[in-house]
Amino acid sequence: MPKKAKELSALAVSRLSVAGNHAVGGVTGLYLYINDANARSWVLRIVVGDKRRHIGLGGYPDVTLAQARDKARAARDEVSRGIDPIVQRRALASQLRAQQAADKTFKQAAQAYIEAHGDTWKNPKHRAQWVSTLTTYAYPHVGELAVRDIGQGHVLSILEPIWKTKNETASRLRGRIESVLDWATARGLRSGENPARWKGHLDKLLPAPSKVQKVEHHRALPIDEMPAFMQALRQREGLAARALEFAILTAARSGEARGAIWEEIDAKAKVWTIPAERMKAGREHRVPLSDAALHLLKALPRLADSPLVFPAPRGGQLSDMTLNAVMRRMQVDAVPHGFRSTFRDWVAERTNHPRELAEQALAHTLESKVEAAYRRGDALEKRRGMMQEWAEFIK
């Protein structure tokens, strides 16, 4: 049998000062280790299976002699039951780290989702809107809650106060919460059904958006007022007026016209090709240019330091408010986007062109997936005749 160490008192232990391992007795294998810097810690030397272990029991004097002996006895008892204290300690530490990683708050999960997907959103405003709505409406209720604990009651506490008064915002917010919770489920941070899902769940608890949402249509100019308006618009100077005129002639969205660059214009082919990244539907869109649209473009100055067709006076792209300002100064009760509605009404009421052709001109996503699947081309030449007729009508 190994020689049993003399059992030292607490006072005797406090007087130890030489660097090295000092057996303190009371429990076989218990030592006070002193390093060269005079730092002290408790160590239990013990054979576990076929391995010799040095098990740390804490620092001295934070762990007293009596406490060290209790810890050493407990460790020896574990070894006698076939447990390796070091392996067990590592396993517990690993479990703790895993639990801490899984204990993400809803706010942390939302931020991680935005970080993962934000770069795929083509509009920078989209990220800002996500952050704004979650910060304003969701975080005060569930921001600091563990994402695994978010339930139906939490989601309703966020949505119900604004569902009827701010339904468009609330509907988008619901979708964002659903996306964050789906992300958390896929990452193993929560389990079970998504409490923010609409179909078969919240649609039974909240009124449909169509029942409470106030639809605000873009104010549009009546068809018969278009020729007079265009004559007045052509009398106005400035690139903002020309950008608005170009948008009307091409039935384009304001942002598509304001962001047009000269490389997109093929004057010889009489086509304006808008790349997918600038289109709402994310698909390239070709616009046949009427004679009036080409004449407008040829009359514009081309700046050496800007690729934009309609650059702002101080550089960069014209803002949407700039085009709105043109219409306000003209005292017209309509908005730039409303001209797309006027164009569609003109096609339906004053021409024999099919509705689908107007929808293609407006770059709308077709509601019928079957129709979309069968449509292989973009009917460019058919649309060319329609856009020429439009330009002649409003000249």
Does residue 233 sit in the same domain as residue 372?
A: yes
3-class SS string, the chain: CCCCCCCCCHHHHHCCCCCEEEECCCCCCEEEEECCCCCEEEEEEEEECCEEEEEEEEECCCCCHHHHHHHHHHHHHHHHCCCCHHHHHHHHHHHHHHHHHHCCEHHHHHHHHHHHHHHHCCCHHHHHHHHHHHHHHHHHHHCCCEHHHCCHHHHHHHHHHHHCCCHHHHHHHHHHHHHHHHHHHHCCCCCCCCCCCCCCCHHHCCCCHHHHCCCCCCCCCCHHHHHHHHHHHHCCCCHHHHHHHHHHHHCCCHHHHHCCEHHHEECCCCEEEECHHHCCCCCCEEEECCHHHHHHHHCCCCCCCCCECCECCCCCECCHHHHHHHHHHCCCCCCCCHHHHHHHHHHHHHCCCCHHHHHHHCCCCCCCHHHHHHCCCCCHHHHHHHHHHHHHHHC
Q: CATH number of the domain that 89 lies in?
A: 3.30.160.390
Question: For residue range 231-280, what is the model confidence (pLDDT) as tens digits?
Answer: 999 999 999 999 999 999 999 999 999 999 999 999 999 999 999 888 88
Assign 218 a pLDDT band (cuts: 50, 70, 90): low
Q: What is the pLDDT of residue 102?
A: 59
**Is the per-residue pLDDT at 368 higher than 60?**
no
Does residue 340 sit in the same domain as residue 278?
A: yes
Does residue 280 sit in the same domain as residue 301?
A: yes
Of the residues 68, 100, 132, which one is the last residue of a structural domain?
Answer: 100
Does residue 203 sit in the same domain as residue 265?
A: no
Mean pLDDT (whole number) for 362-386? 71
Give the Cβ contact number of residue 342 at 10 Å. Answer: 22
**Is the per-residue pLDDT at 223 higher than 90?**
yes
Mean pLDDT (whole number) for 51-68? 90
Does residue 243 sit in the same domain as residue 268?
A: yes
Does residue 365 sit in the same domain as residue 234?
A: yes
Range of the domain at 228: 223-394
Does residue 265 sit in the same domain as residue 330?
A: yes
Does residue 350 sit in the same domain as residue 307?
A: yes
Of the residues 51, 78, 100, which one is the last residue of a structural domain?
Answer: 100
Mean pLDDT (whole number) for 310-332? 90
Question: For residue range 128-167, what is the model confidence (pLDDT) as tens digits?
Answer: 889 999 999 999 999 999 999 999 999 999 999 999 888 8
Does residue 110 sit in the same domain as residue 96?
A: no
Residue 14 in domain: yes
Residue 229 in domain: yes
Please tell me the pTM assigned to this model: 0.53
Which region among 81-85, 211-215, 246-250, 349-353 has the lowest average model confidence (pLDDT)? 211-215
Q: CATH number of the domain that 266 lies in?
A: 1.10.443.10
Total count of domains within the chain: 3
361 near 256, Cβ under 8 Å? no
Question: For residue range 39-56, what is the model confidence (pLDDT) as tens digits?
Answer: 999 999 988 887 888 888
Does residue 264 sit in the same domain as residue 364?
A: yes
**CA separation for the pair 247, 266 (Å, rounded):** 17
Residue 300 in domain: yes
Of the residues 100, 123, 140, which one is the last residue of a structural domain?
Answer: 100
Both tokens assigned to 32: 């006070």
Does residue 247 sit in the same domain as residue 200?
A: no
Q: Which of 75, 179, 204, 178 is CA-nearest to residue 117? A: 179
**CA separation for the pair 43, 61 (Å, rounded):** 13
